[in-house]
Chain A
Amino acid sequence: MKKLFLLLTVLLLISCEETITPDLKTAAPKLVIDAAIDWEKGTAGNIQTIRLTKTTGYYQTEVPKVSGATVIVTNSANTVFNFVEVNTGTPTGQYVCNNFVPVIGETYKLTVTYNGQTYTAEEKLKQTPEISNDVEQIKIGLNNDQIGIRIKCTDIANQKDFYIVKVQSPANAFPEFDYQPDTFSEGNLLYFIYSHEKLKKDMQINFKLYGVSERYYTYMKILIGNASGGANGPFQVPPTKVRGNIKNQNDEQDAPIGFFSLSESSKLSYTVK
């Protein structure tokens, strides 16, 4: 949907784009907890990574990595999964667990202790349907001259579902995201279209589909909106503060940025024809 509006905008506006560097304020650094547990279908899901970083000035090239935190996840049976900091001499901000046990529908609790503050969150592991192998390559764009890839999955019946697709493509220097609820397609086929003006023959595109909770979906929707810098142009929804599900037990007002989410995921690789 969003991509289409981008096309609309470009088509309509005899617009002009220019990179500028306005003066920006930098707020005091905040802790960022990137805790998305990803259980790829067909794997044991025992290896999981949580990243701890801090916010930084907008024009900075690197974000500060957080070292020395304690990161654990527990399940409803109080089994503790330790996430151990990867130490390479310089801080990596990566905390890895090698014995995680993912179970669909199970409730997990995240506890991060850092600088005397304790951060916690609770979330269920969500189920994800398989991406269908039936991938269509279509023509899209202003003159129907851009490559579009349409993937689909069958929505899980009889429940409200929310999906996020992560796309890694040589056409773009960083991953791209799309999102969709099952509102229009309950229990039915669900389509996602990926297109990029630089898509070319023989490029290998990696899709990953995640079933997510409604809260994580809303969070990602705001986050993707903020990150895409108003690709919606004049139809842009104003950017807004994002609030995740992680609480600071010591100071309610000082919640970290980030989300604790757990999803099964389905992978598909497609080579552009």
Chain B
Amino acid sequence: MKKILLLLFAFFVANSIKAQEKFTINGTLKDAKTTETLFGANVYIVELKVGTNTNEYGFYSLTIPKGEYTLKISYLGFETLEEKILVTQNVKKDFALTENNQTLEEVKVDSYKKRSEIKNSEMSVNKLSIQTIKKMPAVLGEVDIIKSILQLPGVTNAGEGQSGFNVRGGSADQNLILLDEATIYNSSHLFGFFSVFNSDAIKDLKLYKGGIPARFGGRLSSVLDIYQKEGNKEEYKYTGGIGLISSRLMAEGPISGGKGSFLVAGRGTYGHLFLKLADNKNSAYFYDLNTKLNYKLNDKNTLFLSGYFGRDQFDLSGGFINTYGNSFVNLRWNHLFSDKLFSNLSVIYSNYYYGLNLDFFKFDWQSDIKNFNLKYDFKHYLGNALKLTYGVNAQYYEFNPGTIVPTSSNSGIIARQLDRKFAIENAAYFDVDQKLSDRFSINYGLRFSNFTRLGEQVVNIYTNNQAVVFNNDAKIYEKATPIGTKFYGKNKTITNFNNLEPRLALAFAFDDNQSFKASYNRMSQYLHLISNTSSPTPLDIWTPSDNFFKPQILDQFAIGYFKNFSDDKYSIEIESFYKKMKNRVDYIDGAELIANNDLEQIILNGIGRSYGLEFFLRKNTGKLQGWVSYTISRAEQQTPGRNANETGINDGKWYKSGFDKLHNLSVTSTYKKNERWSYGAIFTLQSGQPSTFPDGKFDYQGISVPNFGLRNENSLPAFHHLDVSATYVPKPNKQKGWQGEWVFSLYNLYNRQNAASINFRQNADTAASEAVQFSIFGVMPGITYNFKF
């Protein structure tokens, strides 16, 4: 209720400002060379000291009194533009910025710097431009967006070559990964070695770790918001690269004489080379295709059509074939209702497919998630001190956990369909961005989310509604036997959840260069990734909330100090966070996850918590640029017994999550020696991954079995490696025609054998108990040739 009053107050304030004679200036910002719209560029009125940032579609709107002003437009990596404007009526003004080809001799003082955001209440957010990412060394030279965000404070993953990422102690399924606003369910190719994003087709990305605005919802820990390029509106351009692992090619160009543009980008791997095995019948490869089309109908209406299709195929001599991938189509309509009211309507269909063909066992397995998503978002520029965002979202899900069919007549497998699941997720939100004074700004919002599970489905009924029972004799959890079933017809409601998710962020600026910020956000998540391995695998399936899988709820508090110093040469961000999570799924010992139609019989709802302190120091200008990020944090979970009698999982004690890293240090730097040569280096030093070591062994049925105590009480050895890269541009002054560059990289320069796991087992020849350390990557060279024409 209070929030609604606040909102009304905000409207009132806005209207009172409107009473003076004011006009609106709005328009779109783009890159003069590529014609891509610019997201997050700063538009500033020098005389009034007011400004705004462009939105995801490059749109800005400012409302100012009649008069003559200096408009200053700046954006990371671009020349700052200044223009005198006379405002006597509402004006539409589009600008094109020129890329800052900063030569070393003449450093433009005025070029926009990557300084920390001081006055805006936005915190716990990292923005990376694709240019920055491309300069970072990569495994086998393959530019990887997910790997690059691991260098940021508060972001880790379960280990080398593992898929997904963990933000501030959250699990990998708690990240909302959006590519052009469509949800991506699996961000990895080849089981985690590469990410599904083709760097050529990506414009930029923003990672929200905390203070998440109300327009995002559905995942607890973070939002990774990635935008694809739109394509060049003026000329046909081709970009590509040839690497050890994969090759890329992208084409872009105008359509209808510059009214629109298209972009098509493809990428594929050469599996056999990667496997380093000659003459074998195995293959492991992936490919993906990014497409985008945009068309400007008129000044007020633009249409966008984005598509993505990616597949991984893993074939083991025909005996084991695993195929999986994401795909989506997204149609968006940008419409300007007025100079101050921007809207976007998105209609998205996305699909995540997973298939497995096991010829050894003569069966075929297919599973998928289909998602229809309708989003209508509004950005209302009520005044220079007040911006209102609101919208609605409706999603329909169809889960197929598994269709199993025998592949031959002599197969023992019986055809089976695991229960399909259906759900609707609706949300409505508003978000107010308000500048209360020159020093104090506030962002507050509220998201209402609703999740409804629908039939058709047969649902199990259990005594006391408990699908897991505690065997007091053996002190173990076991699956309960259903006492009956209930049939829900098509579109009949099985269960329904409603959640209110308040969001709040405050910023207090001490001066132009330093500020203190605080934020709180509540999130709810209705989908669960069924996985009890330390990082997700493509075998994991998603399941929606129901009577047993309660929605996950998170509360996060964060505070931070932000400072730019030495004339913006450096910036420092220090943040501390505390998160607590409810209904975190944990699995009973010995749980059978694969092809289990009654998943509720193997899970208990636990809780989780994480807390930490993050330091982020950046050097923003000069030949040498980069950052140092250090995080000290803890991520833990607990599943206590449901009553005094039960032991809970892991004896009901708190234990470290599989991706807990107490210390995490990353140093990322780029050095531009001259126009031809530039260098990049990343050094990573982390606490070893939590692990469980035996505290003894015993003999049983002729084998020697290590005896394990409580979970994750031990740690693997410290994890560190240094990666370097060098980029050589043979003809740096060539601006037209064929332009090429060579990227040489060395991953893990000093060949550190980092432990991916330590396994305790018997030696196959001697039967002696031994400990074996597995390491994944030694030193790995990479070479890539990139070109454009």
Contact = CB atoms under 8 A, between A and B. Distances in A.
Q: Interface SS of chain A: helix, strand, loop or mixed?
A: loop
A205 to B, nearest CB: 15
B702 interface: yes
A22 B692 contact: no
Given A32-B698, A53-B699, A58-B696, A191 B412 contact: yes
A18 B284 contact: no
A57 interface: yes
Contacts of B15: none
7 contacts: A36-B701, A55-B696, A152-B412, A184-B416, A237-B533, A240-B589, A258-B700
A68 interface: no
Interface in A108-159: 138-144, 148, 150, 152, 155
Contact of A229 (B476, B701, B711, B759): B759
A22 B758 contact: yes
B712 A184 contact: no
Contacts of B361: 191, 193
Interface stretch (A39-47, A96-104, A217-225): A217-225
Nearest to B479: A214
Contacts of B191: 12, 234
A16 B756 CA distance: 10
A90 interface: no
A148 B352 CA distance: 34
B242 interface: no
B703 A183 contact: no
Given A174-B702, A234-B535, 6 more contacts: A14-B777, A19-B771, A58-B696, A188-B414, A189-B412, A215-B474
Contacts of B762: 173-174, 227
- Select the residue from B362, B705, B708, B764 with max chain A CB neighbours within 10 A: B705
B693 to A, nearest CB: 6
Interface string B411-433: 11110100000000000000000
B707 interface: yes
B773 A20 contact: yes
A183 to B, nearest CB: 7
Interface of B: 158-159, 161-162, 190-193, 275-277, 280-282, 284, 314, 316-317, 319-320, 358, 360-363, 404, 410-414, 416, 473-476, 478, 532-535, 537, 539, 589-590, 592, 594-595, 658, 692-712, 753, 756-778, 780
Contacts of B534: 234, 236, 238
Given A222-B589, A240-B711, A244-B474, A185 B414 contact: yes
Given A14-B776, A138-B360, A188-B414, A234 B703 contact: no
Contacts of B159: 234
A184 B706 contact: no
Interface residues on A, range: 35 or more
B282 A142 contact: yes
Contacts of A242: 589, 705, 707-708
Nearest to A243: B476
A234 B692 contact: no
Which 4 residue pairs of A and B lie closest in terms of their CB atoms, listed nearest first? A229-B761, A189-B412, A229-B759, A173-B767
Contacts of A53: 698-699
A38 B410 CA distance: 31
A183 B413 CA distance: 9
A239 B413 contact: no
Interface string A232-258: 111111111111110100001001011
B533 A20 contact: no
A177 B702 CA distance: 11
B633 to A, nearest CB: 20
Q: Interface SS of chain B: helix, strand, loop or mixed?
A: loop
Interface in A176-203: 177, 181, 183-186, 188-191, 193, 198
B647 to A, nearest CB: 9
B701 A34 contact: yes
Nearest to A225: B590
A173 B763 contact: yes
Interface stretch (A59-67, A76-84, A265-273): A59-67
A173 B349 CA distance: 54
Contacts of B765: 173
Contacts of B314: 8
B270 to A, nearest CB: 15
B452 to A, nearest CB: 30
A17 B774 contact: yes
B693 A22 contact: yes
A57 B701 contact: no
A244 to B, nearest CB: 7
B83 to A, nearest CB: 55
A219 B590 contact: yes
Given A15-B776, A17-B774, A183-B595, A27 B763 contact: no
Contacts of B535: 234
A54 B780 CA distance: 46
A8 B696 contact: no
A86 interface: no
Contacts of A223: 700, 705
B537 to A, nearest CB: 5
A229 B780 CA distance: 27
Nearest to A154: B412
B771 A21 contact: yes
A87 interface: no
Nearest to B770: A19
B774 A8 contact: no
- Select the residue from A61, A150, A171, A226 with max chain B CB neighbours within 10 A: A226
B766 A173 contact: yes
Contact of B769 (A29, A59, A221): A59
Contacts of B699: 32, 34, 51, 53, 63
Given A63-B698, A226-B705, A243-B476, A15 B282 contact: no
B246 to A, nearest CB: 16
Nearest to A53: B699
A257 to B, nearest CB: 6
